[in-house]
């Protein structure tokens, strides 16, 4: 009885807080059951490799994955939010998952897989096009296909959650890995630009006591 009351209290409080956190926009709040894993974990995390992929998805889903827009907000806009790889727009979650041209080859490959999973359930071509090619809808699908953002307008059968979540977490893992590889490759160019700024002289260190 106490356990149920405690769970209900925290569930209600979390649902109220959800509305005030834009970073939690893509996370399905209705699936929060205290003591039970969220569908994003429940349907995917079964091997060591899956857990790694799941961790990246959860970071992006909760807004803790460091993108240029986060960095810009964190540094009070002294850093530009523009994607350092393609420079075609601000690097937010939609850009990372659905738009950045540098990772389009990965997206194409996984869109084919997702199409195979989804096409049996969506004879309506419009729904399929929306899920796979509309950037905000595709981002919501990839991050949490159980979210009301998706299921409110497009009914995805529960039986396909596992296949979709596994495929989407592979996609996120590949995009994240490719992004890091490119950023490491172009890092010297970015650092060179930063080095051109004049540095403040360092204060001399005091005596070192043994």
Minimal distance in Å, beta carbon 83 to Zn ion?
3
Q: Which stretch binds Zn ion (CB under 5 A): 81-89, 111-119, 124-132, 144-152?
A: 81-89
Strand, coil or helix: 82: strand
Asked if 84 interacts with Zn ion (CB under 5 A), we say no
Q: Which stretch binds Zn ion (CB under 5 A): 7-15, 27-35, 37-45, 75-83?
A: 75-83
Q: For residue 51, report the phi and psi dihedrals to the nearest 5 degrees.
A: -65, -40
Nearest to 157 by CA among 139, 145, 169, 140: 145
Quote the tokens at residue 134: 């509309």
Among 100, 130, 132, 140, binds Zn ion (CB under 5 A): 100
Among 83, 142, 149, 156, binds Zn ion (CB under 5 A): 83
Minimal distance in Å, beta carbon 188 to Zn ion?
19
- Give the span between the Cα atoms of 55 and 58, in whole angstroms: 5
In this structure, what DSSP letter does residue 90 have?
B
Q: Which stretch binds Zn ion (CB under 5 A): 49-57, 94-102, 127-135, 167-175?
A: 94-102
Contact 106, 178 (CB under 8 A): yes
- Nearest CB to Zn ion, comparing residues 85 and 132: 85
């Amino acid at each position: 009885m106490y356990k149920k009351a405690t769970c209900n209290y925290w569930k209600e409080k979390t649902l109220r807080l959800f509305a005030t956190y834009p970073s939690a926009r893509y996370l399905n709040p209705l699936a929060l059951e205290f003591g039970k894993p969220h569908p994003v974990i429940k349907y995917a995390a079964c091997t060591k490799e899956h857990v790694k992929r799941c961790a990246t998805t959860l970071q992006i889903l909760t807004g803790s994955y460091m993108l240029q827009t986060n960095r810009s907000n964190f540094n009070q806009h002294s850093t530009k939010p523009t994607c350092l790889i393609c420079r075609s727009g601000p690097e937010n979650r939609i850009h990372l998952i659905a738009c950045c041209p540098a990772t389009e080859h990965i997206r194409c490959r996984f869109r084919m897989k997702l199409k195979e999973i989804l096409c049996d359930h969506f004879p309506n071509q419009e729904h399929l096009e929306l899920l796979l090619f509309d950037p905000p809808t595709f981002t919501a699908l990839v991050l949490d296909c159980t979210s009301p953002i998706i299921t409110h307008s497009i009914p995805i059968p529960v039986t396909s959650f596992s296949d979709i979540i596994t495929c989407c977490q592979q996609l996120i893992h590949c995009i994240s890995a490719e992004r890091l590889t490119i950023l490491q490759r172009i890092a010297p160019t970015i650092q060179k630009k930063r080095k051109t700024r004049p540095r403040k002289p360092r204060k001399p260190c005091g005596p070192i006591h043994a």
